[in-house]
Amino acid sequence: FGKEIRYWRQVASTQPLAHEWAREGAAEGSLVITEEQTQGRGRLGRIWHSPPYSGIWMSLVLRPAIPLTQAPQLTLMASVAVTRALRRVTGLDIRIKWPNDLLIDGKKICGILTELRGEQDQVQYVVLGMGINVNVTPDFWPEELKGKGTSLAIAGGRTYRRVELITAILKELEGIYEGFLTHGFEPIRILWEEYAAMLGTTIRAHTPHGEVTGEAIGLDPTGALILRQGDTKIPIFSSDIDV
Ligand code: BTN
């Protein structure tokens, strides 16, 4: 991954640039990366604050030959890979909040945005957007985000070299992705559970079918989060979760 890189000093968002490149035939592993985003995109239409020179703002093109139904597993795969890479380099206790927020002490340090194009029932390409707060300082976030976000530097009490983190992430992603294509989702499911932030706790999920409350007990073989309510187990496919 990262054999071909398009690097920008500043862009609105790396996501549309990666889509454009993918449509033009970008090879698997092509990477769009920037120092600063003026209109960084988060999940669910949110804004992603991407200040200059202090984070990793990048989008990776993947071309897995998998059905669309398996696509959510790619997001889980990415959260596992980024967690492992960041843990290895920083030694910090990074945990995953379902489906793919990375947290330290309950505060977000990384968000992953998976966007894809499918044809028939197959994935044509995936754009995996990753935003990592590396050396972002507390004063950067607007008031309402102050309690929710953190950075590796704030948590670790030192700054980190972004290039070292990027290298570690791309290497880890490539290895885990190859494992996923040959061995399937199960090894990733096990790792994900190991790093999960909220297994065993009661959570409330907002789903398209309404609100569901239950104890988070793990991931099912497809990647859905399993909530237990008494003797009933409810799979949650995609939602916003409150702990
Ligand atoms: C989230 O809401 O948690 C996902 C945030 C994803 C942010 C990254 S930064 C690089 C890429 N470009 C974007 O505009 N968004 C993603």
Predicted ipTM of the assembly: 0.99
Strand order in the sheet with 107-119: 5-8, 31-34, 55-62, 122-133, 107-119, 101-104, 95-97
User: What pLDDT sits at residue 243?
Assistant: 45
Q: How is domain 202-242 classified at the CATH fold level? A: SH3 type barrels. (2.30.30)
pLDDT on residue 5: 98
Q: Where in the chain is the domain with CATH 3.30.930.10?
A: 5-195
By most ligand atoms within 8 Å of CB, the mutation choice from 5, 15, 145 for ligand 1 is 15
Task: Please give the annotated binding residues, written as ranges.
Answer: 37, 41-43, 108
Give the integer Cα–Cα distance in Å for 98 and 216.
10
Q: Which CATH superfamily is domain 5-195 in?
A: Bira Bifunctional Protein; Domain 2 (3.30.930.10)
Q: How confident is the model at residue 208 (pLDDT cuts 50, 70, 90)?
A: confident
What pLDDT is stored for residue 205 in this prediction? 86
The confidence score (pLDDT) of residue 45 equals: 87
**Helix, strand or coil, per DSSP, at residue 100:** coil
The binding site for biotin consists of 37, 41-43, 108
Query: Is residue 81 helix, strand or coil?
Result: helix
pLDDT at position 115 is: 93
Question: Residue 161: CB partners within 8 Å, gap ≥ 6?
Answer: none
Amino acid (1-letter code) at residue 213: T
How many whole angstroms separate alpha carbon 9 and alpha carbon 202?
43
6-54 tens-digit pLDDT: 999 999 999 999 999 999 999 999 999 999 999 999 988 899 999 999 9
Contacts of 184 (CB under 8 A, 6+ apart): none
| Digit-coded pLDDT (tens) for 44-83 | 889 999 999 999 999 999 999 999 989 999 999 999 999 9
Contact partners, residue 65, CB within 8 Å, separation at least 6: 122, 123, 181
Ligand 1 pocket, Cβ-based, cut-off 6 angstroms = 13-15, 37, 40-43, 46, 48, 50, 57-59, 101, 111-113, 129-131
Residues of the chain above pLDDT 90, percent:
84
- Whole-model pTM: value is 0.95
Angstrom CA distances, 158 to 135, 136, 149, 167, stand at 8, 11, 17, 19
Contact 215, 200 (CB under 8 A): yes
pLDDT-derived band of residue 98, with 50, 70 and 90 as boundaries?
Answer: confident
**How close is the Cα of 229 to the center of ligand 1, in Å?**
33
What confidence category does residue 241 fall into, taking pLDDT thresholds of 50, 70 and 90? low
pLDDT over threshold 80, residue 91 = yes
| pLDDT tens-place string over residues 141-155 | 888 887 899 999 999
Please tell me the distance between residue 44's alpha carbon and the centre of ligand 1 in angstroms: 11
- Gap from CA of 40 to ligand 1 centroid (Å): 6
| Best residue for ligand 1 mutational test, from 57, 109, 166 (most atoms within 8 Å of Cβ) | 57
Q: Looking at ligand 1, which residue's alpha carbon is closest to its atom 11?
A: 129
Question: Which segments of the chain belong to CATH 2.30.30.100?
Answer: 202-242
